[in-house]
Amino acid sequence: MAYGSINLAVKAGTVTRVTEFLVVDRPASYNIIMGTPWLNAMRAIPSMYHLCLKFPTPNGVEVIWGNPRVS
């Protein structure tokens, strides 16, 4: 059950998008989980195998790389 929602600006690389987040009171494995609505809005392609996120920008495709050590 969600308490409500909040709209926050999310910056990924050089792109910033306002994204709606649901506020819940439950334990979670992560501080934040960006689900498919955010990925769809960014037109992003996540790769768990390569630990990266690719998305188009006005200047070409941008890639955000994960840290294998932290993962």
- Residue-wise pLDDT for 24-68, tens only, equals 888 877 666 667 788 888 899 999 899 999 999 999 999 999 988
**Assigned domain for 71 exists:** no
How many other C-beta atoms are found inside a 10 Å radius of the C-beta of residue 47?
11
**Assigned domain for 50 exists:** yes
Beta strands 15-23 and 60-65, pairing class: unpaired
Beta strands 52-57 and 60-65, pairing class: antiparallel
Backbone region of residue 60 per phi and psi (left: phi > 0; alpha: psi in -120 to 50; beta: other values): left
| 7 — pLDDT class (breaks 50, 70, 90) | very high
The number of folded domains in the chain is 1
According to DSSP, the residues that pair with 55 across neighbouring strands are 62
**Assigned domain for 70 exists:** no
Q: Determine the structural domain holding residue 42 and report its residue range.
A: 4-25+34-65
Backbone region of residue 29 per phi and psi (left: phi > 0; alpha: psi in -120 to 50; beta: other values): alpha
Instruction: Tell me the whole-structure pTM to 2 decimals.
Output: 0.65
